[in-house]
Amino acid sequence: MSGPTLDVRVKSITWEAERINTYELTPLGGVELPSFKAGSHIDVHLPHGATRSYSLVNAEGETHRYVIGVALDAASAGGSRYMHENVKPGDRLAISPPANNFVLDESAPLSVLIAGGIGVTPIYCMVQRLTALGRPWQLHYSARTREVAAFADALAARGAASGNLVNLNFDCEPGGTMLDLGAIVGAAPADAHLYCCGPTGMLEAFERAAEKRPREQVHVEYFSAKEDAARAGGFTVVLAKTNRTVFVEEGRTILEALLDAGMDPAHSCMEGVCGTCETRVLEGVPDHRDLVLSDAEKAGNKTMMICCSGAKTPTLVLDL
């Protein structure tokens, strides 16, 4: 990990659904936390060295606290398991300031929000924001069962109170079916903005359903990589600021090569989903593998995620 961090205290932990807790994090010393926009996430730097990204659940505009939702993943490599089993109220945690790769367009005539499982966390924040602004929205929220659906009652209540549609879908309950993403996308007006956060399979199905829509109206938030990092190696990275040159060998990513060389550029997820390692490209053409940059941004080659993307040219000059 690298980059600035903030110290926060775990003020409270709340059970929200089966295997899902929220953690309320407050600043130390009475200072305010940086403000954030709906869709933002923070990185939590756990004491045993792991870093995990979690979306902010609480209302945009709150600077006295951040609230994150954490689902205990049965296959957890230490992140969610540590949060559930070790973190207690009163503990201190180091976090990174909020970043946002899932930006809400507040001017949309209609926002169609689609959530799967714990992917509901940034969507819940968006619901609060759109409701506060009086902007129209609709929510399609799918979970395996009601018992594992965090915030379902609160979201239904917000929909009822604001006159916006909330469609709760429990696909593993008797008679349950998967959300019909094609029908949801097909029914949305042409000028609607569409948002989806959930498991990778759901996101891919959503992107297929929305592929004919203008890219700027389709928003997705991935939690894990869709494709492997570029590890072909065989190119040189020139670091313009520090005046260093590092050769990236086959089998290594740029970030790994820089870490091997004793440098510590900002990074977190290591798989191209959080945006922490975004680096300006001064010369050369990256082989983009991330899920942060839009297609247009990738084509522009102005920045790249060095944790997963490689090079299409023998040399890359980076602003590092």
The first and second tokens of residue 18, run together, are 């089966």
Residue 290 within binding range of ligand FES, rule CB under 6 A? yes
Burial class of residue 39 in the structure, from the number of CB atoms within 10 Å of its CB (0-12 exposed, 13-18 middle, 19+ buried): buried
Please state the closest distance from residue 269 (CB atom) to ligand FES, in A: 4
Nearer to ligand FES, 56 or 292 (CB): 292
Q: Is 293 in the site for ligand FES (CB under 6 A)?
A: no
The DSSP 8-state label assigned to residue 114 in this structure reads: E
Asked if 256 touches ligand FES (CB under 6 A), the answer is: no
Whichever of 25 and 270 has its CB closer to ligand FES, that residue is: 270
Q: How far is the CB of 255 from ligand FES (least distance, A)?
A: 7
Please answer whether residues 104 and 126 qualify as being in contact, where contact means their C-beta atoms are separated by less than 8 angstroms: yes
Neighbours of 308 (CB within 10 A): 27
Which one among 46, 83, 246, 274 touches ligand FES, defined by CB under 6 A? 274
Rule CB under 6 A: is residue 272 a binding residue for ligand FES? Answer: yes
- In the complex with ligand FES, the residue whose CB is nearer, 196 or 229, is 229
Among 68, 270, 311, 316, binds ligand FES (CB under 6 A): 270
- Closest C-alpha among 312, 270, 305 to residue 287: 312
Does 305 sit near ligand FES (CB under 6 A)? Answer: yes
Residue 100, phi then psi, degrees to nearest 5 = -135, 110
Spell out the alpha helix ranges (H) of the chain. Answer: 79-85, 120-133, 152-162, 181-187, 200-209, 254-260, 295-300
Question: Contact at 8 Å (CB) between 308 and 290?
Answer: yes
Q: Does 307 bind ligand FES (CB under 6 A)?
A: yes
The Cα–Cα gap between 283 and 18 comes to 49
Does residue number 221 form part of the binding site for ligand FES (CB under 6 A)? no
Closer CB to ligand FES, residue 79 or residue 275? 275
- Single out the segment in contact with ligand FES by CB under 6 A; choices: 194-202, 239-247, 267-275, 294-302: 267-275
DSSP for 247-279?
Answer: EE-TT--HHHHHHHTT-----SSSSSSS-TTEE
CB 265 within 8 A of CB 246: no
What the block records as the tokens of 90 is 């009163």
Stretch that binds ligand FES, among 2-10, 64-72, 78-86, 268-276 (CB under 6 A): 268-276
From 80, 96, 128, 268, residue interacting with ligand FES (rule: CB under 6 A): 268
- Least distance to ligand FES from the beta carbon of 271, Å? 7
Total chain residues near ligand FES (CB under 6 A): 14
Residues interacting with ligand FES, by CB under 6 A? 267-270, 272-277, 290, 292, 305, 307
